[in-house]
Chain A
Amino acid sequence: MEIRAEEISALIKKQIQYYQNDTEVEDIGTVIETGDGIAQIYGLNNVLSGELVEFEDGTMGLVQSLEEDRVGVVILGSHLSIREGDEVKRTGRIMEVPVGKALLGRVVNPLGQPLDGKGTIKTRKMRPIEQEAPGVMARKSIHEPLQTGLKAIDALVPIGRGQRELIIGDRQTGKTTVAVDTILNQKDQNMYCIYVAIGQKDSTVRATVETFRRHGALDYTIVVNAGAASPAPLQYLAPYAGVAMGEEFMYNGEHALVVYDDLSKQAAAYRELSLLLKRPPGREAFPGDVFYLHSRLLERAAKLNDELGGGSLTALPFVETQAGDISAYIPTNVISITDGQIFLQSDLFFSGVRPAINPGLSVSRVGGSAQAKAMKKVSGTLRIDLASYRELESFAQFGSDLDKATIKKLNRGKRTIEVLKQGLHKPIPMEKQVMIIYTLIKGHLDEIPIEDITRFEAEFYDYLDAAYPEVLRDIRVTGELNNEGDMQEAIRTFTTQFSVSY
């Protein structure tokens, strides 16, 4: 191989540019105690809280507690190679994760290192995981909808872009399904999704990633995984890593959705860490700053004003309750931080109402202003209808003599519940949701037997696609109910040819 002289000089020139041999005076400390993912270090006199320190073998640590003659450090990585007496160095840096579009379609750990075996992540952009949330003037009222594709959510508890909506419920009530369906529905919606899995089985995460891939959702999704086997510090950091990746999109004027699945496990990991750092335990043994832990995370969800590009970051935190107890510590905390909650109930789930959303306890405090006008119009009476149905239902169980109006209300309620049911991974576009709810509230479903409602719905969508695409397009484009005549006609023609099963 021939080497030309100018190549050599170019090489040397490059080396001159990056050559560094200036050894500096560094602050060091000594490990005096290590175990359970925590190290106590003597020295490190000028270290700052939240700074990264480096152990002798290159493992990084995060400074968590500063005491008079020692600092408490959480070890990011394996603590097995760290021994008493090891030297620890300050780095002068704070923790950062890689961000940007190169991460889309990847599964990474909370440090931004790939877990999916698809090679290194080609991005130079980094963002600190702890950053101040946008201030008052940087924000704007929420006005764009985030379509989840779930009728029960889009109609009853609408979510806007930039909102923080808590999804709360017992184990096995379909919380993750709600998030997965929401992410699947973001296809072609100009939205980037980040799914943060905290303390879950790696097999579950694998299955979720596979669902994303099968439905083509992985192209716009980043999965941050801190599995059940990963150390508590990583589980504690995972949501912050996720939100940092989302912020990159938000500050570039784009829209991001971050799902934290789930924050009760993160709080448990933080509790473990705090107890090992000898911080005093409070209620349910959580440390005193567990509220701040979640509030500073969720406060970073925002809708930015137009000068800042108008980007948004929507947060869907999850909290798992024990036996439906929403008055436990973490659920009450997160409920008070978020802009509303979707409450999933196991008895509804087992009686076949899926998604098992309890419309009485679920609210969205700001989503209403983000809802499309058409949807707002048709879903206006839905919540009251459901509430009065629930009330009558319990009364109707006692006697059989009911007046006509009551029977009508009961019938309508049963059909409403039937319409709000939805299959797994089958998001429905907004215009179709509007059409079916319109059909319901105008009483066209009252004559259809309850068993046939699901079939009616499926066939109705096909019929609309085939015969009345312009009605759908009109709702989709304008977001309003401009042409009720056409809608009525479509419903009438379909109901007349719909055959009821016997």
Chain B
Amino acid sequence: MKNRIKARRYAEALYDAAVERGHEDLIERELMAIRQAFSEPSDIVQFLQDPKQWMHRARIIKSTFMTFSSEVVKILLIMVEHHAEVDVPHMVDHYLYLLNEQRGIGVGKVLTVKALSPAELTEIETHFAEKFGYKELTLANVIDEDVLGGFKIVINQRVYDASVKKKLKTMRQNFVPLYKR
């Protein structure tokens, strides 16, 4: 949480650079792989943080990510130089967020008690896209028994709560005045 602003700065810079050259989609695919590599537990992060390997860091990165586009390799080099290797997954997340905002895609989750069928999920996605102000939605189905029934969609700190839990809570609030809660 603490370094999220730092990670955002890298993501914004990378995104701007990618847009200028017009290959943000290619970088997106590459970043997915990089996130995989840098997500914990990660051998590469451990290696990069090892003081004994200090001199070899740049060389290792260059050789490991040889096939990747130059912007991606360069941002990794810069981040490693700044000791920000642990922020790489956050950077990737924010890059994807920026890209999806640009494309009008909302990425989030839908909380239900039982797993939704693919048809139901698609229906929710198409139905709520406009309500959230996006062209389309990509929702991950999360099982959460706390919602009791119905569903709850969370996209980028915005929520559409149609769960039974919420209804019960509203009902309770209407019965009990604020200062007695």
Across the interface, which residues of B come within 8 angstroms of A59, CB to CB?
181
Q: Which 3 pairs, one residue from A and one from B, show the smallest C-beta to C-beta distance?
A: A43-B157, A113-B179, A58-B181
A27 CB → nearest B CB, Å: 6
CA gap between A87 and B177 in the complex, in Å: 21
| Chain B stretch 116-154: residues in CB contact (< 8 A) with chain A | 131-132, 154
B154 CB → nearest A CB, Å: 7
Known: A25-B132, A27-B157, A113-B178. 4 other contacts (CB 8 A): A23-B160, A28-B157, A60-B178, A69-B8
**B1:A25 contact, CB within 8 angstroms:** no
A222 at the A/B interface (Cβ < 8 Å)? no
CA gap between A173 and B92 in the complex, in Å: 65
B29 at the A/B interface (Cβ < 8 Å)? no
A111 at the A/B interface (Cβ < 8 Å)? yes
**A28:B1 contact, CB within 8 angstroms:** no
Across the interface, which residues of A come within 8 angstroms of B166, CB to CB?
23
**B179:A45 contact, CB within 8 angstroms:** no
A26 at the A/B interface (Cβ < 8 Å)? yes
Question: Residues 149-181 of chain B: 1 if any A CB is under 8 Å from the residue's CB, otherwise 0?
Answer: 000001011111110001000000100011101
**B157:A29 contact, CB within 8 angstroms:** yes
Across the interface, which residues of A come within 8 angstroms of B8, CB to CB?
69
Interface size bucket, B side? Answer: 20 to 34
B26 at the A/B interface (Cβ < 8 Å)? no
B93 CB → nearest A CB, Å: 13
A32 at the A/B interface (Cβ < 8 Å)? yes
| Chain A stretch 149-198: residues in CB contact (< 8 A) with chain B | none
A67 — nearest CB in chain B belongs to which residue? Answer: B5
**B5:A26 contact, CB within 8 angstroms:** no
A44 at the A/B interface (Cβ < 8 Å)? yes
A460 at the A/B interface (Cβ < 8 Å)? no
State the A residues within 8 Å of B (CB). Answer: 23-29, 32, 42-45, 57-60, 68-69, 87, 89, 111, 113, 120
B149 CB → nearest A CB, Å: 14
**A32:B1 contact, CB within 8 angstroms:** yes
Across the interface, which residues of B come within 8 angstroms of A58, CB to CB?
173, 178, 181
Across the interface, which residues of B come within 8 angstroms of A111, CB to CB?
179
A278 CB → nearest B CB, Å: 14
B61 CB → nearest A CB, Å: 28
**B1:A23 contact, CB within 8 angstroms:** no
Given contacts A111-B179, A113-B179, contact A26 B158 (CB under 8 A): yes
**B4:A28 contact, CB within 8 angstroms:** no
| Chain B stretch 7-38: residues in CB contact (< 8 A) with chain A | 8
Sample 27 A-B pairs with CB under 8 A, ordered by A number.
A23-B160, A23-B162, A24-B160, A25-B158, A25-B159, A26-B158, A26-B159, A26-B160, A26-B161, A27-B157, A27-B158, A28-B159, A29-B157, A42-B1, A45-B156, A45-B157, A57-B181, A58-B173, A58-B178, A59-B181, A60-B178, A69-B4, A69-B5, A87-B159, A89-B159, A113-B178, A113-B179
Across the interface, which residues of B come within 8 angstroms of A45, CB to CB?
156-158
Across the interface, which residues of A come within 8 angstroms of B160, CB to CB?
23-26
CA gap between A45 and B157 in the complex, in Å: 7
A109 — nearest CB in chain B belongs to which residue? Answer: B179
**A23:B161 contact, CB within 8 angstroms:** yes
Across the interface, which residues of B come within 8 angstroms of A43, CB to CB?
157
Across the interface, which residues of A come within 8 angstroms of B5, CB to CB?
68-69
CA gap between A58 and B169 in the complex, in Å: 9
- Indicate the member of B8, B177, B179 with the most A CB atoms within 10 Å: B179
Across the interface, which residues of A come within 8 angstroms of B1, CB to CB?
32, 42
B1 CB → nearest A CB, Å: 6
CA gap between A407 and B8 in the complex, in Å: 83
CA gap between A120 and B179 in the complex, in Å: 11
B151 CB → nearest A CB, Å: 11
Contact of A25 among B131, B173, B177, B181 (CB under 8 A): B131
B159 CB → nearest A CB, Å: 5
B132 — nearest CB in chain A belongs to which residue? Answer: A25
Across the interface, which residues of A come within 8 angstroms of B154, CB to CB?
28
B159 — nearest CB in chain A belongs to which residue? Answer: A28
CA gap between A429 and B132 in the complex, in Å: 67
